[in-house]
Amino acid sequence: MEHINYTSENERTFAMLCHLSALAGCIIPLGHILGPLIVWLIKKDEFPEVDRQGKAALNFQLSVTIYGLIAGVLVILLVGFVLLAILAVFTLVLVIVASVKTANAEKFEYPLAITFLR
């Protein structure tokens, strides 16, 4: 398992916040994108790992949004309801796993994430 070398405790905290801030989507519309975006934009130039983690979190959240839109269209065929529920649980679990692994200085890559930001 590959580990992350943080330059400071602040870098670790903000790297973890890149992932955890996606939970803002539970309260604020589009918060799942805005949360990671704000943390990333504020700290990406200061901490290299925040830049990497922020891009990973944003890529995953943008991918999940696309998958959610597709599942939303499939609601017409009734299969979309099941897909939306699975997607919600999948997203929640992966955000928590990514946050914990980042806090423990372990590298994590989101599965099924489309790379929008490099």
3-class secondary-structure state, position 114: coil
Cβ atoms of residues 105 and 6 within 8 Å = yes
Cβ atoms of residues 108 and 98 within 8 Å = yes
Assess whether pLDDT exceeds 80 at residue 3: yes
Cβ atoms of residues 25 and 32 within 8 Å = yes
Look up the pTM and report it: 0.94
Among residues of the chain, what percentage have pLDDT more than 70?
100
Q: What is the pLDDT of residues 42-89, one digit of tens each?
A: 999 999 999 999 999 999 999 999 999 999 999 999 999 999 999 999
Question: What's the pLDDT score for residue 19?
Answer: 97
Q: Which letter does DSSP use for residue 18 in this model?
A: H
Question: What's the pLDDT score for residue 25?
Answer: 94
Q: Dmax over Cα atoms in the chain, in whole Å?
A: 50
Assess whether pLDDT exceeds 90 at residue 1: no
Could you identify the residue written with the tokens 């997607």? Answer: 87
What mean pLDDT comes out for the span 9-37? 96
